[in-house]
Structure 1
Amino acid sequence: MRCTFEAISEDLPGQRWQNIFRQFWPGYRQWYLRDGDRARPGFLMCRKALRHHMPELVPTWERLVELSGGGDLEARFLSMWGPPPYIAGCSQAVWLPVDGQQAAGATPALLRNYDFAPALLEGVWLASRWHGQRVVAVNDCLWGALDGINESGLAASLSFGGRKAVGNGFGIPLVLRYVLEFAQNVDQAVEMLARIPVHMSYTVSLLDRRAQWATVFVTPDRPLEVVRKQAVSNLQHGVEWTAHANATLAEAREQTLAVAVRQAEDAKAVLRALLRPPLFQTAYGRGHGTLYSAVYHPYDGSVEMVWPDAVWRQSCSHFLPGARMIEFDVESTALPHAVAPARRWMLDDVGSFQ
Structure 2
Amino acid sequence: MLWRAVSEDAPGPKWSGLFAEYWPDYKQWWLKEGETTRPTYAQSRAALQQHMPEIVPLYDELCELVGGGDLAARFLSFYCPPPYLAGCSQAIWTGKEPVMVRNYDYNPNAFDSLVLHTKWQGRRVMGTSDGLWGLVDGVNDAGLAISLTFGGRRVVGGGFGVPLILRYVLQTCETAEEAGAALARIPTHMSYNVTVLDRKRQYLTAMMAPDRQTLITHAAVATNHQENVEWVSHARFTATVERERFLLHRLTLHRDPEEKFIGAFLKPPLYSTAFNVGFGTLYTAVYRPKRRQMELRWPGTVWSLSLKDFEEGGRHIRLPGAA
Which residue of 1 is the match for residue 289 of structure 2? 298
Query: Could you tell me the percent identity over the aligned residues?
Result: 45
Match of 2:36 among 27, 35, 38: 38
Which residue of 1 is the match for residue 191 of structure 2? 201
Cα distance in 2 between the residues matched to 1:257 and 1:122: 27
Which residue of 2 is the match for residue 76 of structure 1? 74
Which residue of 2 is the match for residue 130 of structure 1? 120
Which residue of 2 is the match for residue 248 of structure 1? 238
User: What aligned pairs does 1:1-354 form with structure 2 within 5 A after superposition?
Assistant: 3-97=1-95, 102=96, 107-262=97-252, 263-328=254-319, 330=321
Instruction: Give how far 1:265 is off.
Output: 4.0
Sort the Cα spacing of 1:265 and 1:246 in 2 relative to 1 into closer, same or farther, 3 A: closer
Cα distance in 2 between the residues matched to 1:158 and 1:331: 23
Whether contact under 8 Å (1:260, 1:269) holds in the other structure is no
Cα distance in 1 between the residues matched to 2:263 and 2:248: 13
Whether contact under 8 Å (2:156, 2:210) holds in the other structure is yes
CA deviation vs aligned residue, 1:74-119 (integer Å, no higher than 9, x gap): 000000111011110000001112xxxx3xxxx1001100000111
Instruction: Give how far 1:285 is off.
Output: 1.1
Cα distance in 1 between the residues matched to 2:110 and 2:233: 21
Instruction: Give how far 1:212 is off.
Output: 0.3
Amino acid at match of 1:324: R
Cα distance in 2 between the residues matched to 1:92 and 1:331: 22
Partner SS, residue 299 of structure 1: coil
Instruction: Give how far 1:267 is off.
Output: 2.4
Sort the Cα spacing of 1:331 and 1:129 in 2 relative to 1 into closer, same or farther, 3 A: closer
Sort the Cα spacing of 1:42 and 1:269 in 2 relative to 1 into closer, same or farther, 3 A: same
Structure 2: gaps spanning 5 or more residues: none
Cα distance in 1 between the residues matched to 2:27 and 2:205: 32
Partner SS, residue 19 of structure 1: helix
CA deviation vs aligned residue, 1:194-215 (integer Å, no higher than 9, x gap): 1110000000011000000001
Cα distance in 2 between the residues matched to 1:264 and 1:295: 18
CA deviation vs aligned residue, 1:225-276 (integer Å, no higher than 9, x gap): 1123211210101211112111111111111111122233432122111111
Deviates more, 1:232-241 or 1:201-210: 232-241
Partner SS, residue 84 of structure 2: coil
Whether contact under 8 Å (1:231, 1:261) holds in the other structure is no
Whether contact under 8 Å (2:184, 2:216) holds in the other structure is no
RMSD over aligned Cα atoms: 1.1
Cα distance in 2 between the residues matched to 1:266 and 1:45: 49
Which residue of 2 is the match for residue 337 of structure 1? none
Amino acid at match of 2:283: Y
Structure 1: gaps spanning 5 or more residues: 333-354
Cα distance in 2 between the residues matched to 1:94 and 1:331: 28
